[in-house]
Amino acid sequence: MKISATNDPATSIQADAVVVGCYAEGQLQPAAMTIDQATGGAITRLIEAKELVGKAGELTKILVPSGVAAMQVVVVGLGEREELDRRGAFQAAAAPAKLLASKPRSHVAFYLNDKWNADLVEAAVCGAMAGCQGQDLYRAEKKLLPFEQISWAAAEVQVLASGQILGESVALARRLVNEPANMIYPESFADTAADVAKKSGLEIEIWDEERLKAERCGSLLAVARGSKRPPRLVILRYNGGNKGDAPLAFVGKGVTFDSGGLSLKPNDSMKTMKCDMAGAATVVGAMEAIAKLQLPVNVIGLVGLVENMINGDAFKLGDVLTARSGKTIEVLNTDAEGRLVLADVLDVAVEQGAAKIIDLATLTGACLVALGTDTAGLMTNDQAWCDELSSAARLCGEAAWQLPMFPKFGEQIASKVADIKNVGDGRWGGAITAAKFLEEFVQGKPWVHIDIAGPAFLDNSKPWLDAGGTGAFVRTLIEVARGWRG
């Protein structure tokens, strides 16, 4: 998609549609006022009739308005002016983009800025791109058709460029999640990561099965054994900081399909399990953006890629695995596979010299029970590091909420036959017992675990986003890297 700045007045730009904004109580943005004047007060009349009130997310189309070159004007409600944050800006652009993408439209012009700061503009550009990306990768007739060109009024070129970089990374993460598991499996995911690395200037290292064996990744390999698709571990490196400075590490769960293994999932729970590599997709997306933005930081991204399937060689209940760290793990549920994969990837991250770690995983249904579908769970061994992540998430408008890591929860993963077991005692607090398991593998490094089982994947579309992969937390990770001071 081509995104360029424009200085044309909203009334004369040659576009298929012009998007303008209206704050609460019918307060029009400058471009909306220009349109209003040119149309002899069309918008004012709609406001007087309460057809248009400026509520956040409200969309009003004005077709073939006289005095305006574009075929239509879309007025988007922006809510209270003082309350507009990055989430609001994202949705304010995404919702009209989604509306307009329902038909082929080659050029859409956004006239939303009025003294918006760079962060809001970036978020809005990102939103405009996200709104027209659909999950229907394999439908002949697409429901959403991205525009060829977006024009943005009153924006600086560098801000548009960075907004586009964020938007492309979110799009990449969403596409990877939306691709079905017969297209994206460990090898093809790793190939895609290699492509991304090449294009964005990241270093990449891919561990195949042989290497994983040589590295004694017994926990990850056990999960992979039930599948014909061999596993991979991908390490992406970006060295934009001082030579020798310990890197920030992002770790992602990349279960390209989770059948549950012998602890087989019922049909309904399995239907969307192509999404179980969303953590890995988020990491690759964020790494791509960090490289393109040339941030002055050292970051490594590590993703563990497996398919959790069943064959005659699949790992079984009661099996005892030896993780890369040397810890032994009793498997009591093969559907608690994500933590087994991450156990070894976290160990590699520590060995690679990570200063601090963030892992992302669609780890537990329990996190959905605790926090619902839109909010990620945060669990940590280092409050200051978690606070840093929380504030990045808040700035980006990505919902996250911390869950406690009381030592008591750790007692639940004690095993009678091995060092630990891969499930707690019963279902309660399942998001936390999973995190307690992961904590065993970070060797005390400052670490935050983000359980994105809820927000990574939408079952139903929102007015501003199609259903499927959401790209949740790509922007938060980039924000963390932007604020990273070692």
Task: Return the active site residues.
Answer: 265, 339
Pick between residue 82 and residue 268 the one whose CB is nearest to Zn ion: 268
What residue is closest to ligand BES based on CB? 365
- Contact, 92 vs 111, CB < 8 A? no
> Closest approach of Cβ 105 to ligand BES, in Å?
34
Instruction: List all residues 6 or more positions away from 467 whose beta carbon is below 8 Å from its beta carbon.
Output: 135, 458, 459, 460, 461
Residues in 205-234 at the binding interface with ligand BES, rule: CB under 6 A: none
Question: Segment 256-275, which members bind ligand BES (CB under 6 A)?
Answer: 258
User: 327 — phi, psi (to 5°)?
Assistant: -65, 145
Q: Which residues pair with 301 in a beta bridge?
A: 236, 250
Least Å distance between CB 361 and ligand BES? 8
Q: State the nearest-atom distance from the C-beta of 150 to Zn ion, in Å.
A: 36
* Nearer Cβ to Mn ion (335/440): 335
44 or 269: CB nearest ligand BES: 269
Binding of Mn ion by 335 (CB under 5 A): yes
Q: Is residue 307 within the footprint of Mn ion (CB under 5 A)?
A: no
Specify the residue, 146 or 260, whose C-beta has the smaller distance to Mn ion.
Answer: 260
Determine if 359 is a binding residue for Mn ion (CB under 5 A). no
- Which residues of the shown chain bind Zn ion in the complex (CB under 5 A)? 255, 258, 276, 338
Q: How far is the CB of 355 from Mn ion (least distance, A)?
A: 30
Q: Taking CB under 6 A as the criterion, which residues in 32-51 touch ligand BES? A: none
Whose Cβ is closer to Zn ion: residue 248's or residue 434's?
434
* 73 vs 452 by CB, closer to ligand BES: 452
Out of 54, 241, 430, 468, which residue is the one contacting ligand BES (CB under 6 A)?
Answer: 430
Find the residue with minimal CB distance to Mn ion: 335
Chain centroid offset of residue 105 CA: 27
How big is the site for ligand BES, counted in residues (CB under 6 A)?
Answer: 16
| Candidate segments 33-41, 218-226, 365-373, 410-418, binder of ligand BES by CB under 6 A | 365-373
Q: Which one, 162 or 334, has the nearer CB to Zn ion?
A: 334
Q: How far is the CB of 234 from ligand BES (least distance, A)?
A: 19
Q: Are 55 and 147 within 8 A, CB to CB?
A: no
Spell out the SS3 assignment of the chain.
CEEEEECCCCCCCCCCEEEEEEEHHHEECHHHHHHHHHCCCHHHHHHHCCCCCCCCCCEEEEECCCCCCCCEEEEEEEECHHHCCHHHHHHHHHHHHHHHCCCCCCEEEEECCCCCCHHHHHHHHHHHHHHCCCCCCCCCCCCCCCCCEEEEECCCHHHHHHHHHHHHHHHHHHHHHHCCCCCCCHHHHHHHHHHHHHHHCCEEEEECHHHHHHCCCHHHHHHHCCCCCCCEEEEEEEECCCCCCCCEEEEEEEEEEECCCCCCCCHHHHCCHHHHHHHHHHHHHHHHHHHHCCCCCEEEEEEEEEEECCCCCCCCCCCEEECCCCCEEECCCCCCCHHHHHHHHHHHHHHCCCCEEEEEECCCHHHHHHHCCCCEEEEECCHHHHHHHHHHHHHHCCCEEECCCCHHHHHCCECCCCCEECCCCCCCCHHHHHHHHHHCCCCCCCEEEEECCCCCEECCCECCECCEECCCCHHHHHHHHHHCCC
Q: Which of residues 258, 307, 344, 398 is near Mn ion by CB under 5 A? A: 258
**Contact yes or no for 320/329 (Cβ under 8 A):** yes
Of 44-52, 167-175, 189-197, 335-343, the segment contacting ligand BES by CB under 6 A is 335-343
x/- letters, 438..457, toward ligand BES (CB under 6 A): ---------------x----
Touching Mn ion, residues 75-134 (CB under 5 A): none
Which of Zn ion, Mn ion, ligand BES, none does residue 36 bind to, with CB < 5 to 8 Å depending on kind? none
Minimum CB distance to Mn ion, residue 152 (Å): 42
Least Å from the CB of residue 452 to ligand BES: 8
Structure tokens at 121: 């503009």
Q: Which does 341 bind (CB under 5 to 8 A by kind): Zn ion, ligand BES, Mn ion, none?
A: none
Residue 88 binds what, of ligand BES, Zn ion, Mn ion, none (CB under 5 to 8 Å, by partner type)? none
> What are the residues binding ligand BES (CB under 6 A)?
258, 276, 333, 335-338, 362-366, 368, 423, 430, 453
Chain positions contacting Mn ion, by CB under 5 A: 258, 335, 337
